[in-house]
Structure 1
Amino acid sequence: MNSVTLVALRSIPNCVIKPGVVIFVFAALGFFGAYSKRKYILVEYANLVFMLLVMKIIVISLWLTMKSEVETEIQSKMLESLKNNFVEDTVSSTNSFSNEWNYMFMKLDCCGVNPVVSTTNDFDATSWCTTSGSCQATSSQIPKTCCLNVDENTIPESDKPGISGCYDALKEALLSYSSSILGLLFTTIFIEIFAVICAFLIRSKDRQLWRTHCPILCKCLPLDAPATK
């Protein structure tokens, strides 16, 4: 968790693409099994999709039951990272994690982990404040990268600082994707359930039931072809 910064946002596309690739491979396997009438492929396909479905349900259940614990742990790790790595309020220090923190302050218009409400804040325990000639040089005792609407090319002296904590700002940024992610998740679960049902309908050789429940696929699958064991 030492790199809890914009890395979380950058990882979102991978979190969507990788499951998509897995689903595509499973779909290709299922279509091949249905087209070739190889029962063992259909059985394996149904088992794989069912296991994937169960894993998703478990993950969702764990998230719902452990949400507060997870959020507390993330916040704790962010505070630890800030304390151990924040060395100066620039983006050119020798500590890459310190630079990432400053980039996040500017990108999300936030400051520290918790909201800044006084000169006593999350930066007090960092090297930036415990080392002579650092945060004591500013009246607000917060980094100049916390100023609102700045970037690495326009970093001013500490003035009009952002007081929102980066934990809340990062959480809000991630939640902005929640509707799309939930929509994709439930759509995927519905498709997986449908795919498992169709696989077992083909496996059962009940052609009339297959035509009733899967009319679209029936148009392209050779239902009269001999089944291969």
Structure 2
Amino acid sequence: MPAICTRCGWRGLGMISLFVISTCLALLGIISVIYGIMLMLNGGALRNPDISPVLNSITMGSLKPGVLISILPILLIVIGVITLLGAVLGLLITILLQRKVFLIICSILSFVVCLGTIVIIALFISGTQISKEQMVERLQDNFTDVSINSSNELSNAWNVMFLDLDCCGVNAVNGTTNDFDKTPWCTTKGDCQQTNAEIPKTCCVNVTENTYSAASDKCYSEVIKRTYKPKGCFEVIEVQISAFSSTILGVGIPILFLEILCGILAVVLCFKDDFLNPEGASFKEICRSFCNPEQKPSQGNEQELQEMAPLK
């Protein structure tokens, strides 16, 4: 039997393990809540509701990337709060509430968080896989005007995206032949169709929602390099979604792993009669015994050691 088990008994090992796991989960829960709040207050341009129509138009199946990105902070906060509550309960169980009913509640909370974390990771990763070809199709179908206030919501959203994400088109613009050539703005009605522009004014550098209408013709008409935004929007969106995915995985996987351990440990302790033994050593005594091997255990723990001793 390991030295720690000899000094504290399996009961003590279980209590110490639950305490350590619960402490780690409490820290992860706090981190998840704080990060969720930070994203809610300043989550980047992708969370701009004016851009969501574009993201939601390039869905993979029934999942909408714009919706998933907009609710991501709420999901992180909810998972963080539930994780924190379960961790606090785990700490209270080891220190004060050594009762089977609290172990059962702790195990249920752990498995609920596990299930929720798995669902969130799966939904976010599968729901934010954006197709470049589909994105080009949506641009060519819906871009009708260089305006953020027209009657076409999707066309407005594309212009807001060019302004906020510092990008132009889906693929990077390399000249007068680009993604806009097959849009209604170039084929039916608009400055491009009238040969007055090759790219939207919202693609020009150093312009805002208030100043894009006064952009230089060297940008939107002559398409001179360094006067327009060099990156395509697909590349920019892919990088930002990758950052969101890294956050989800970085917080979710450790929580998932520790919650599984916590749930299993709580179930095991439910079936350990000595965990509920009122004469057993307290958590404080177990910690002292762990730190000081020569510490004499309490009467209850001494009896436990005698029962585990091999028969002579």
Q: Same fold (TM over 0.5)?
A: yes
Instruction: Give the equivalent residue in structure 2 for 1:49.
Output: 110
Structure 2: distance between partners of 1:162 and 1:100: 17
CA drift at 1:87: 1.4
1:163 to 217, 230, 237: 230
- 8 Å CA contact 2:82–2:109 kept in 1: the answer is no
* Structure 1 residue 76: Cα displacement: 3.6
Aligned to 1:186: 253
1:129 corresponds to:
186
- Aligned partner of 2:148 in structure 1 is 91
Q: Which amino acid aligns with 1:19?
A: I
1:83-119 Cα offsets, whole Å, 9 max, x none, are 3322111111111221121111011111111222232
CA distance in 1, matches of 2:235, 2:55: 13
Aligned residue identity for 1:198: L
Structure 1 residue 163 displacement after superposition = 2.9
1:14 pairs with 2:74: yes
C-alpha deviation, 1:195, in angstroms:
1.8
Asked if 1:37 corresponds to 2:37, the answer is no
Q: Distance in 2 between matches of 1:32 and 1:74?
A: 48
2:203 to 132, 142, 146: 146
Deviation at 1:183, TM superposition (A): 2.4
Task: Name stretches of at least 5 consecutive residues in structure 1 with no aligned partner.
Answer: 216-223, 225-229
TM-score (norm 2): 0.53
Report the CA distance between 1:49 and its aligned residue.
Answer: 3.1
- State the AA in 2 paired with 1:16: L
Q: Return the offset for 1:148.
A: 1.6
CA distance in 1, matches of 2:54, 2:98: 48
TM-score (norm 1): 0.69
Please give the per-residue CA displacement for 1:112-135, whole angstroms capped at 9, x wherever unaligned: 112222323222222211223431
Question: Structure 1 residues 17 and 147, CA, compared in 2 at 3 Å: closer, same or farther?
Answer: same
Number of residue-to-residue matches in the alignment: 210
CA distance in 2, matches of 1:47, 1:113: 46
For 2:194 and 2:230, the matched residues in 1 are separated by 19
Q: Residues 2 and 78 of structure 1 are in contact (CA less than 8 Å); yes or no, is this contact kept in structure 2?
A: no
User: Structure 2 vs 1, CA of residues 23 and 115 (structure 1 numbering), >3 Å: closer, same or farther?
Assistant: same
Does residue 3 (structure 1) correspond to residue 54 (structure 2)? The answer is yes
Distance in 2, Cα, partners of 1:12 & 1:62: 11
Q: Secondary structure at the match of 2:251?
A: helix
Question: What percentage of aligned pairs have identical amino acids?
Answer: 36
Pairwise CA RMSD of aligned residues?
4.0
> 2:40 is matched with which residue?
none
Q: Give the secondary structure class of the aligned counterpart of 2:193.
A: helix
Gaps of 5+ in 2: 1-51, 57-64, 220-226, 288-299, 301-312
Structure (1 or 2) with the larger CA radius of gyration: 2
